[in-house]
Amino acid sequence: MSDEFRISSELAEEMVQHCIEGRPNEACGMLGIKDGTVVKIFRMTNALRSPVRYRLDSTEQLAVHNTLYSEGWDWAAFHSHTHTEAYPSPTDIREKRDDVPYVIVSLATDPPEIRAFRIEKEDWAGDEGVVQEIPVTILP
Contacting residues toward other proteins, per CB under 8 A? 26, 28, 30, 48, 50-56, 58-59, 61-63, 65, 77, 79, 81-85, 87-99, 102, 108, 124-125
- Asked if 81 and 90 count as a contact pair (C-beta separation under 8 A), the reply is no
Query: Quick one: 123 or 140, whose CB is closer to other proteins?
Result: 123
How open is the CA angle 129-125-113, to the nearest 5 degrees?
A: 45
Nearest distance from C-beta of residue 140 to other proteins, angstroms = 30
Work out how close the CB of 16 gets to other proteins at its nearest, in angstroms, rounded to a whole number.
16
> Does residue 111 have a cis peptide bond before it, meaning omega lies within 30 degrees of 0?
yes
* Closest to other proteins by CB, 34 or 83: 83
**Residue 14 CB, nearest distance to other proteins (Å)?**
19
Q: Which is nearer to other proteins, 11 or 93 (CB)?
A: 93
Sheet of 130-134, strands arranged across:
130-134, 113-120, 102-106, 74-81, 28-34, 37-44, 5-8, 136-139
User: Which long-range contacts link 62-65 to residues 24+ away (Cβ below 8 Å)?
Assistant: 64/30
| Nearest distance from C-beta of residue 97 to other proteins, angstroms | 4
Of 7 and 30, which has the nearer Cβ to other proteins? Answer: 30
